[in-house]
Structures are given as C-alpha cells and as structure tokens.
Chains A and B, each alone.
Chain A
Amino acid sequence: MDGFSSDFSPAAPASASGKLDTGAIMEQVKVQIAVANAQELLQRMTDKCFRKCIGKPGGSLDNSEQKCVAMCMDRYMDAWNTVSRAYNSRLQRERAKM
C-alpha cells in the first residue's frame, strides 16, 4: 500500500496538451477510495478482534491468541459480506416499492 501514497501528491495529471486528464483523475480517485476502505476495515477489524481475543495482554501474542485473531479476521470478513448483501437487497426492495 505504501506505493500508492506517492501517486497522490502531484497536482491533477495533465495530458500533453495541458488539459486535465479525466481518465487519470478517475483512476486516482478509485485508488484513494480503495485505500480508504481498506484502512477503515483494518481499523475496525483490529479493534473488534483485539477485544475478542486478547483478554489480558501478556508478554507476547501467544499461540492461542494468534489463532483466535486469525479466526476472528475471517469471521469479520464473513460478517462484512453478509451485511453488505443484506443491506444491498434491502435497498433493492426499497427501490422497488417506490
């Protein structure tokens, strides 16, 4: 993910004519959104799985804690996908009502 950040700093990309390159802007926006979403997920997942798996922080992240965190990550992703599907189908139903 480190590589992405360097793409953001320059001003809007310009084509040879000096006009703003719409395609390149759209690409940048997409990348930025993807990074923001990954960060959002990472932050919430870390918070939730830390709470579930690390009862009393010890001298190291022991084996059973690591196993718990790994399982928790997978279940969090499952949950995310389930929620996304449920929300999407609800939106579809609401739209059909209108």
Chain B
Amino acid sequence: MEAAADPELQSFIEAETQKQRFQGLVHQLTELCWDKCMEKPGPKLDARCEGCFVNCVERFIDTSQFILNRLEQTQKTRDPFSRSLTD
C-alpha cells in the first residue's frame, strides 16, 4: 500500500507497463507475420522477407484501426450490424 503511494515507483511502474505492452505486441506480431512471411529460414533475412514483415506490421495496425473506426460508425448509425449483435 505504501509502495503504491510512492510517486517514483508509480511512474516507474507506468513506464514499465507501457514498455511491456509494446513488447507483448511485438511478440504477437512476430509470430503472426512469421507465418505469413517466412517460407524457409535461410542464412540471412533477405530484403523481400524483411519488407514483408514491415508491411505485415503496418497492415495489422491499419486493420485494427479500420475495425475500430467501423465499429464506432456502426454504433453511431445503429445499422443492421448493431441489431444483429443484440438479436
């Protein structure tokens, strides 16, 4: 309890939590993009493969933003989608 009130510790925990969230997503994305981009591990990561990983990360974030935006919109307009959720 006393520890939670320590401002130094609090900001440290916040920063570490943030870092951990980042690392967690890197683990998840590496695994996901590995399945999409890696055919057979060679002696080095070639440029084409590296590009695939970069695109994979970018498109994943685009997708997550797209889904979030679309859900937000469908919530607002209450189109058939939101009804189907409650049915």
State the A residues within 8 Å of B (CB): 12, 19-20, 22, 25-26, 29-30, 33, 37, 40-41, 44, 48-49, 52, 68, 71-72, 74-76, 78-80, 82-84, 86-88, 90-91
Contact = CB atoms under 8 A, between A and B. Distances in A.
A79 B16 contact: no
Contacts of B22: 87-88, 91
Given A44-B27, A82-B50, A90-B57, A52 B9 contact: no
Contacts, number: 88
Interface of A is mostly: helix
Q: How large is the interface on B (under 10, 10 to 19, 20 to 34, 35 or more residues)?
A: 35 or more
A27 B19 CA distance: 15
